[in-house]
Chain A
């Protein structure tokens, strides 16, 4: 095998080379900028992750499955998955095999960068190459065909998005269109270019058969250069457009995965890690169908994809803000995102910028820890309160509110010691914190008291006589600083109570207690976990009826904390579980979310109706939820009775 072109060079490679050089320089410069803007702790984490074999293995596995095979999209939507996989994996294989081919036959040309890309133009294939060449040629054409099939779907999808099962998708910007047309052109042009030289450069089944079809029509002296120029130019345009278009996600996603695996999270909405998230958004629009606000007139414009697009291209400030403030923070878009961008956290960080420079609140009306009824065994002052035993010295550390949130895919952490003590966990003293919302739904707190009593638990009720907010609503509004002072006060009360288990009825509280409180050895449990444990350990017994119960996964409990199975076990113990049409990770927000700052009640009611329709799918007798806020919201609009899971259990108690 030898050079067909003397010197192995032609000017048509210039567009490709220029584009390649540009995008490499751009990416390196951006990456340095991102790293420089990260907190130094995060830089340390990144450095450590690069030498940690466990994280390295995870990086490789994640990059392979998410960036190349697109397993996540496959799971949700096989057609869309194939489209992405065929283009990404096919292209990747073309590059890899192309380089291997050059390494095999023209190793001295590997350093030229462009040679593997335009291999067929530059080589004169001779018969001595044997079967190895045939295998390479077959593989190259096979993967090219794969890519072409993906491009075919992509072109078709642009005109009819319903073909891949998407009801709504984004309208590409002009810049995206330019890059998109260049991308669409690359592979057909490559095929035609390779076919044009298949007589001398050789080719697989695809290029060769096209060559055979077109060669009788071509004069012997035909100039094939223009077609190679076109191929190179389309590559060049695509590379030049990358940083200014949605396709920036191609080089960024792998980096995002590495940073995320290193434990780095967004600390603001605009620089550092969040920039990486913005670039990783391919504006595929899968979050649009997921967003419950699409049930509201014109609610579609509030989808996360538009928020990120605004952030990235500096769209109208007011509209970025209005999206950030409207968001219900239900995390459905996060669960739907194939790249795993935590857009709700970005919006929360965006909101928090409003609190910069504002004086912190003092919360002077809050009772001091020393006088809080849950911390003292003073039965005279508060006749309803049980004796709370000895006080322990309050030494508490406030959990940082930055970078603590876990991704939706992570499981709630159960430490080994918790697992070991699973059996006797119910012999331990518990403290029950009902939270503000449960104060407004006494059916829940009363049910919990009945259950505690039936199970013979030694417990105290922390906020029976008035309590403090957990801090999560403030955090959802972006006010982390004021939340921290509530967290500090509550931590003191809980630590002084002497309890070993903290039971919560409200998933909103549960999430913040799990993620932002540092309570030492005190185990934090949502009542679904706790009640399920009581049933499984035989501490309480419940009657099973023939009632069909639909379970609504509250956002903060399901997507927020990964608790899906415990409530379902409880429901199956009390009756028949009727699943909603959109359940678990896809559960629709009840509409009452504290997350939204600006949605009106009318708008919220549209979300509520959508959730209720989904719940009615299995024609249940009742709707059961595990969040006091969902309970209240559904209660207003539901034709079916709605109850909390604690109430379901309390009314079915046998002991």
Chain B
């Protein structure tokens, strides 16, 4: 079997899959590597995607269909043992796959290794992993998917549910100064979904400030307040405890009224932010490109992004938090730049 490709794509999440598809359209042969058993990345964990609430499974199905091409070799459960520049041009990677060890070579590399969801247990004051009723945004998506919010909330048809924004984002103490960009809209989306499932529920969102920056996001925010009556409290939750009925007691400060609030909840959802994927450091380290102090891969140019080294490119959240449409856009752009590079145009700016 021929193990030479034009491009090795590391990571078969939305960015990697979309780039593979775009490159295949140009007739470029790619090898799409995924460490998990399935393609899809974080899309696999999500139920619905904001702003319109489209089903993640539907988006993923569409994307998977698009990478069924003769130009794309997809290898799942792949581990990269080493990756390095070959003498002369191109790159070489040694893989451990289900079919054993394998060496592949390519002219270019596209890093699309994505992000890691912040480990909410690190913010121990929120009690994730300690109190049963404290879950993360990803856990809630899974509950929606499996239609099992009742496993946390119980039979109560009038539950009180809280959402904590910025868990591990914009938090110097947690080691992440950056805004994760997608959590505000996700929290508003999930809060509305809770209200749809439990119309009698009281839902609180504890936020620092709402960053509803995208098109239609502000509409979601207004809808959440007007149609669903979701209560937005500006202030960080300071500590969380459990009462004798194992319900959650969250303490926060309502900074708009300047008063401390203490709310008893049936479920508390922590909006875990986008943190850098620590594996990206291993890849960039062996390709001698840099990661920033926040752990994300450095853009070579703050305006035009892209080009890292000769033949090394990035797409998606490995260079910082992005929404799904932004990721898809960047994957397309990366494909275009790679195409240009392979055609001998190294002036990508």
**Interfacial residues, chain A to chain B (CB-CB below 8 A):** 383-384, 439-443, 446, 464, 466, 601-602, 605, 631-632, 635-637
Contacts and interface: CB of A to CB of B under 8 A. Distances in A.
B172 A601 contact: yes
A142 B127 CA distance: 69
A611 to B, nearest CB: 15
15 contacts: A383-B243, A384-B243, A384-B244, A439-B125, A440-B124, A441-B124, A442-B124, A442-B240, A442-B241, A443-B124, A464-B241, A601-B173, A631-B124, A635-B122, A636-B174
B131 A442 contact: yes
A446 B175 contact: no
B130 interface: yes
Contact of B244 (A383, A446, A602, A636): A383
Given A384-B244, A636-B122, 16 more contacts: A383-B243, A439-B125, A441-B124, A441-B125, A442-B125, A442-B130, A442-B131, A443-B124, A464-B241, A466-B251, A601-B175, A605-B175, A631-B124, A635-B122, A636-B173, A636-B174
B239 interface: yes
Contacts of A442: 124-125, 127, 130-131, 240-242
Contacts of A605: 175
A446 B131 CA distance: 10
Kindly name the residue among A383, A632, A636 whose own CB sees the greatest number of chain B CB atoms within 10 A.
Answer: A636
Interface in B213-254: 239-244, 251
A605 B174 CA distance: 11
Contacts of A464: 241
Nearest to A384: B244
B175 A632 contact: no
Given A439-B241, A440-B239, A636 B175 contact: yes
Interface string B98-140: 0000000000000000000000001011010011000000000
Contacts of A602: 293
Contacts of B173: 601, 636
A632 B124 contact: yes
Contact of A637 (B124, B175, B239): B175
Contacts of A384: 243-244
A636 to B, nearest CB: 5
Interface string B286-302: 00000001000000000
A466 B238 CA distance: 12
A636 B124 CA distance: 10
A443 B125 CA distance: 9
Contacts of A637: 175
Contacts of B175: 601, 605, 636-637
Contacts of B127: 442
Give the 9 A-B residue pairs with the shortest CB-CB distance, closest first: A440-B125, A384-B244, A601-B172, A441-B124, A439-B239, A442-B130, A442-B127, A636-B175, A635-B122
A138 B192 CA distance: 96
Give the interface size bracket for B toward A: 10 to 19
Contacts of B131: 442
Contacts of B172: 601
B334 to A, nearest CB: 31
B122 A446 contact: no
Contacts of B242: 442
Nearest to B278: A639
Kindly name the residue among B124, B125, B127, B242 whose own CB sees the greatest number of chain A CB atoms within 10 A.
Answer: B124
Contacts of A443: 124, 130
A79 to B, nearest CB: 40
A385 to B, nearest CB: 9
A466 to B, nearest CB: 8
A69 B19 CA distance: 74
A636 B131 CA distance: 20
A138 B251 CA distance: 79
Nearest to B176: A636
Nearest to A436: B239
Nearest to B239: A439
Interface string B262-299: 00000000000000000000000000000001000000
A427 to B, nearest CB: 26
Contacts of B251: 466
A59 B133 CA distance: 61
Nearest to A647: B130
Interface in B18-66: none
A446 B251 CA distance: 18
B242 to A, nearest CB: 8
A631 B293 CA distance: 23
Nearest to A439: B239
A644 B277 CA distance: 27
A384 B244 CA distance: 5
B263 to A, nearest CB: 14
Nearest to A447: B130
A442 B172 CA distance: 21
A384 B245 CA distance: 9
Contacts of A446: 130
A567 to B, nearest CB: 20
A217 B173 CA distance: 75
A631 B124 CA distance: 9
A467 to B, nearest CB: 11
Contacts of B130: 442-443, 446
Contacts of B239: 439-440
A168 to B, nearest CB: 26
Nearest to B173: A601
B243 to A, nearest CB: 6
A350 to B, nearest CB: 27
A602 B241 CA distance: 30
A445 to B, nearest CB: 8
A383 B251 CA distance: 18
A625 to B, nearest CB: 13
Nearest to A600: B172
B224 to A, nearest CB: 29
A245 to B, nearest CB: 43
Contacts of A440: 124-125, 239
Contacts of B122: 635-636
A458 to B, nearest CB: 18
Contacts of A635: 122, 124
A446 B241 CA distance: 10
Contacts of B241: 439, 442, 464
A632 B174 CA distance: 9
A407 B172 CA distance: 34
Nearest to A608: B175
A229 B131 CA distance: 82
A602 B175 CA distance: 8
Contacts of A601: 172-173, 175
A524 to B, nearest CB: 24
A570 to B, nearest CB: 21
B247 to A, nearest CB: 11
Interface string B171-196: 01111000000000000000000000
A368 to B, nearest CB: 17
A601 B176 CA distance: 11
A631 B121 CA distance: 12
A149 to B, nearest CB: 51
A48 B339 CA distance: 90
A59 B239 CA distance: 51
A635 B243 CA distance: 25
A463 to B, nearest CB: 11
A636 B120 CA distance: 11
A636 B239 CA distance: 17
Nearest to A636: B175
Contacts of B293: 602
A441 B129 CA distance: 12
A329 to B, nearest CB: 19
Nearest to B243: A384
Nearest to B244: A384
A635 B130 CA distance: 15
Nearest to B177: A601
B76 to A, nearest CB: 27
Contacts of A466: 251
Nearest to A444: B124
